[in-house]
């Protein structure tokens, strides 16, 4: 029973469990494998917000492989207008899909679409229990999330400038209490350059979480 996390680049990654797949924030530009939208075949696409480096190639992927987009109502509306299959949700909402439960969480960041809100996701994907923070600043209600829906993995931005920096993301790890933390959204461009090894040392010195550094193009196995 295989379960994997494949990091594409920036904040884009694929979850895979026994042939079932989901991609998160499918921004493919600059990925080291040279992946294009036509190369991506997934069942679901999660979009945290509509900035270019997160919505990326979502609509193109959805149309060519029939994937369902899961996002806020505003982004899902854009997806529907583009001819994609979409399921709209909103912050605080939960829904049980064929793969498992999704909770849409707060994310303090611009939405990239009029009237919308950025979000994160707590996802149970065929037993892979993961929190994807999306782009966000640090906020105290992160401490509530593991009480609502426990998860094993927390995927957190650490780049600073647009999101949490390593200091704030270490505090987030302390509140989230995930067994594993996977840092993303760093070193793509100079304004978000960070020392990920220093982040790992900080988190592991002050919390019980283990930081998994995954380089773009790499796949790691996940616990289910």
* Assigned domain for 222 exists: no
3-class state of residue 175 by DSSP: helix
Adjacent-strand bridge partners of 122 = 103, 131
Q: Round to whole Å and give the CA distance between 217 and 224.
A: 22
Smallest Cα–Cα separation from 73: which of 45, 11, 132, 115? Answer: 115
Position 219 in a domain: no
DSSP state at residue 56: T
Nearest residue to 5 via CA among 105, 172, 133, 153: 153
More confident residue, 45 or 224: 45
Q: Does position 193 have pLDDT exceeding 90, yes or no?
A: yes
Give me the residue label for tokens 């295989």: 2
CATH of the domain at 118: 3.60.15.10
Q: Is residue 223 part of a domain?
A: no
pLDDT digits (tens, 9 = 90+) for 77-111: 999 999 999 999 999 999 999 999 999 999 999 99
Please report which residue ranges of 66-195 form alpha helices under DSSP H: 73-81, 145-148, 166-176
- Whether residue 115 is predicted with pLDDT greater than 90 in this model: the reply is no
pLDDT computed for residue 114 by the predictor: 87
Structural domain span for residue 129? 3-214
Cβ atoms < 10 Å from Cβ of 156: 33
Residue 221 domain flag: no
Any domain includes 181: yes
> What is the total count of domains within the chain?
1
């Amino acid at each position: 029973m295989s379960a994997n996390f494949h990091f594409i680049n920036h904040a884009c990654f694929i979850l895979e469990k026994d042939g079932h797949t989901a991609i998160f924030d499918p921004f493919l530009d600059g990925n080291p494998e040279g992946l294009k939208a036509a190369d991506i075949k997934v069942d679901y696409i999660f979009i945290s917000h509509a900035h270019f480096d997160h919505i990326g190639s979502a609509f193109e992927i959805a149309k060519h492989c029939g994937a369902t987009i899961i996002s806020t109502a505003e982004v899902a509306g854009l997806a529907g207008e583009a001819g994609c299959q979409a399921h709209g949700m909103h912050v605080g909402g939960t829904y049980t899909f064929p793969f498992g439960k999704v909770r849409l969480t707060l994310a303090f960041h611009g939405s990239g679409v009029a009237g919308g809100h950025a979000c994160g996701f707590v996802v149970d994907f065929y037993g892979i229990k993961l929190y994807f923070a999306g782009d966000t600043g640090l906020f105290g209600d992160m401490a509530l999330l593991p009480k609502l829906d426990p998860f094993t993995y927390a995927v957190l931005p650490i780049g600073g400038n647009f999101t949490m920096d390593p200091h704030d993301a270490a505090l987030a790890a302390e509140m989230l209490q995930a067994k594993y933390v996977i840092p993303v959204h760093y070193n793509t461009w100079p304004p978000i350059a960070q020392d990920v090894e220093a982040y790992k040392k900080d988190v592991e010195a002050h919390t019980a979480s283990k930081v998994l550094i995954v380089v773009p193009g790499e796949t790691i196995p996940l616990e289910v």
